Structure 1
Amino acid sequence: MAARRATRWHIAVFLAPAVLVYTAVMILPLFGTLNLSLYRAEGFVGLANFRTLFGDPHWSEQFWNALRNNVWFFIIHMLVQNPIGILLAALLSSPRLRLAAFYRTAIFIPTILSFVIVGFVWKLILSPIWGIAPSMLQAVGLKFLFQPFLGQEETALTTLALISVWQFVGIPMMLIYAALLSIPDEVLEAAEMDGITGWSRFWKVQLPLILPAIGIISILTFVGNFNAFDLIYVAQGALAGPNFATDILGTFLYRTFFGFQLQLGDPNMGAAIATAMFLIILAGVCVYLFAIQTRLRRYQF
């Protein structure tokens, strides 16, 4: 008779603290929010809050405006931040590059800065009254390009998205850099023996091998952008001006749940907005897991 396998109690012991903390700060609040979205002051109302959110013109107009802005915020990160991060990682992984460690550190430092610092500093830089941006552009003969970027509806959201790109481009850079370093030297040497060198080696050999890492970065970007709040709030306030041009789901949720100025907070409608955000993020993650990740070829070294 085969010996009975020993129960590995130590696994449960080591996992228990993380599971308890995660349950306390994530799972229970999530179910609490879902429950709160089904109630009003008079009691249980089922999906009435969602019917109000999507059917009432006052609420639906704000929600769809915030969602459109959020989608644009995400697109800029996908089209600007991640490609630049991949390019920087490819450059920094070159053995011929000197001071690579210094460049990595300099690019990554903004990611550890506070949103308050970043938002306040960039407001000072771009201010048409006391900012240094007009003077810098004037010094190179490009003063005519300056505009009050944060004060115009057409440019405010894009400007904030690019500021966010500047702050967080170091994250995809470091993740892709780590993925590039994990490629065995034998693979690169074989490519070099076949005459594939330089950028051709990156496009034909390295890039296909790091596609799973790029997929992970993409879904992290999606989740992070649809949870964004801090930078918009610091730079434009809870009203996400001008004229709600920078309003995203995070600021819309904040104003609704906690109230702002003379507007009273409505925790039930705020919970409904939070639930809608959760479902949007959940749908995006599921699309990635079941439609994209399964198609990405993984290489075992």
Structure 2
Amino acid sequence: MRTMSVINPRRARTRYAGIALSKTTGMVFVLPALILFAIFILYPLLTALSYSFFDWTGILRGDFSGLNNYVTLFTTLPYSEQLPNAFMHNVVLFIGAMLFQNTIGLGLATLLHRVRRFKRFFQTMYTLPYLVSPLVVGYLWSLMLSPLFGPVNSILRGIGLGDLAQPWLGNPQTAIWVVVFVTAWQWVGFPVLLYGAALGGIPEEIDEAASLDGASSWQRFRDITFPMLIPAIGTVSVLTFIGAMEAFAIPYALGGSQGSPAGATDVLSLMFYRTAFESGSTNAIGTSSAIATLLFLFIFGVSILITWLLSRAERRLY
């Protein structure tokens, strides 16, 4: 004979009430973060977007101009020359960070994962630079690279490589690569920490089993470790992209607001700063807001694309 279970109405109401209470409690804890996000992130973004659709006379808003401020950026000098130049330098910063900063960070994290002694010491040493203000780091490197009294050129001359000594920040051919190097030097500890945490989450039994099957260290890293690091690589890649496109402090410290020499270190954030505060244009608010909006839309769109591509790659591996 089939028996039917009878649901206790009081128990069901108690359970549903507990679920509703837990959701309410969660919203209470999330609400402060949402309020701060709305005030300091969402509101400024929407304000900049609205400003970009109007003409401005100083701080007085004029008539609705539609996309005129955006058209000005691509058709009117000096914006039409500065915009692609600054954008390409941001791209160079991102590529340089991916090639040097993140590759070296992954290598150091892998070595530290295998070395037990002094592991915490080296992790601390690698992460110390990014705890310092980027402006301070930039100014210190500008002093060290000085052609007059900088220790870098002095060391090169002292070891017989005087032909390599040059005004690193005064040469348009080398200035942007100095920015790439200093940025990578400061932030290399960030991927070291993230990759180190990801490596610590990989079960050692998998690596040991592959070793017993005769796999070499490189084969184990290529076929086991690296695929399991894809989520961490995705996170580091997106954050690196955002940081490279928003770069301001180090380029400003090394090349000033004009991106010296001759715009060789100019980036989009510097262009926004000059347009908003140094251009002297009566429509500075409208034009600079258009730059900020374009920068945000590009960062947001490419970040979503990178996340989607890496998630697809992760699903294929598993």
Question: How does the TM-score come out when normalised to structure 1?
Answer: 0.94
* CA distance in structure 1 between the partners assigned to 2:32 and 2:316 by the alignment: 32
Contact 2:238-2:307 at 8 Å conserved across structures: no
* CA distance in structure 2 between the partners assigned to 1:77 and 1:166 by the alignment: 10
Number of aligned pairs?
298
Partner of 1:120: helix, strand, or coil? helix
2:309 matched residue in structure 1: 291
Contact 1:63-1:249 at 8 Å conserved across structures: yes
Shift of 1:12: 1.2
Shift of 1:83: 0.7
Shift of 1:246: 0.7
1:131 matched residue in structure 2: 150
Deviations 1:1-55 (A, max 9, x none): 6624121311111111111011110011110010011111222111111111112
* CA distance in structure 2 between the partners assigned to 1:131 and 1:102 by the alignment: 29
Match of 2:51 among 32, 36, 48: 36
Match of 1:18 among 4, 21, 33: 33
1:80 matched residue in structure 2: 100
Match of 1:193 among 201, 204, 212: 212
Match of 1:49 among 62, 66, 69: 69
Contact 2:251-2:259 at 8 Å conserved across structures: yes
Amino acid at match of 2:278: G
- Give % identity: 38
1:271 matched residue in structure 2: 289
Shift of 1:264: 6.6
Contact 2:49-2:293 at 8 Å conserved across structures: yes
* CA distance in structure 2 between the partners assigned to 1:102 and 1:142 by the alignment: 33
Map 1:54-203 to 2 at 5 A.
54-95=74-115, 97-203=116-222
Amino acid at match of 1:285: S
Deviations 1:258-293 (A, max 9, x none): 225x66770110000000101110121121133332
* CA distance in structure 2 between the partners assigned to 1:40 and 1:288 by the alignment: 35
Contact 1:258-1:265 at 8 Å conserved across structures: no
Call closer, same or farther: CA 1:91–1:265 in 2, change over 3 Å: farther
1:215 matched residue in structure 2: 234
Shift of 1:294: 2.4
Contact 1:111-1:168 at 8 Å conserved across structures: yes
Deviations 1:49-93 (A, max 9, x none): 111111224321111111111111111111111111111111110
* CA distance in structure 2 between the partners assigned to 1:142 and 1:256 by the alignment: 42
Partner of 1:154: helix, strand, or coil? helix
Amino acid at match of 2:211: E
Contact 2:230-2:310 at 8 Å conserved across structures: no
Question: How does the TM-score come out when normalised to structure 2?
Answer: 0.89
Contact 1:232-1:240 at 8 Å conserved across structures: yes
Unaligned runs of 5+ in 2: 1-6, 57-61
Of 54-63 and 167-176, deviating more is 54-63
Call closer, same or farther: CA 1:264–1:98 in 2, change over 3 Å: farther
* CA distance in structure 2 between the partners assigned to 1:162 and 1:296 by the alignment: 30
Contact 2:234-2:307 at 8 Å conserved across structures: no
Unaligned runs of 5+ in 1: none
Of 250-259 and 264-273, deviating more is 264-273
Match of 2:300 among 279, 282, 287: 282
Shift of 1:198: 2.7
Pick the structure with greater CA Rg. Answer: 2
Partner of 1:151: helix, strand, or coil? coil
Call closer, same or farther: CA 1:152–1:265 in 2, change over 3 Å: farther
Partner of 2:123: helix, strand, or coil? helix
Deviations 1:224-260 (A, max 9, x none): 1101101111121111100111100000000001225
Amino acid at match of 1:167: Q
2:272 matched residue in structure 1: 253
Partner of 2:169: helix, strand, or coil? helix
Call closer, same or farther: CA 1:145–1:219 in 2, change over 3 Å: same
Deviations 1:186-223 (A, max 9, x none): 21221122122433322221111101211111111101
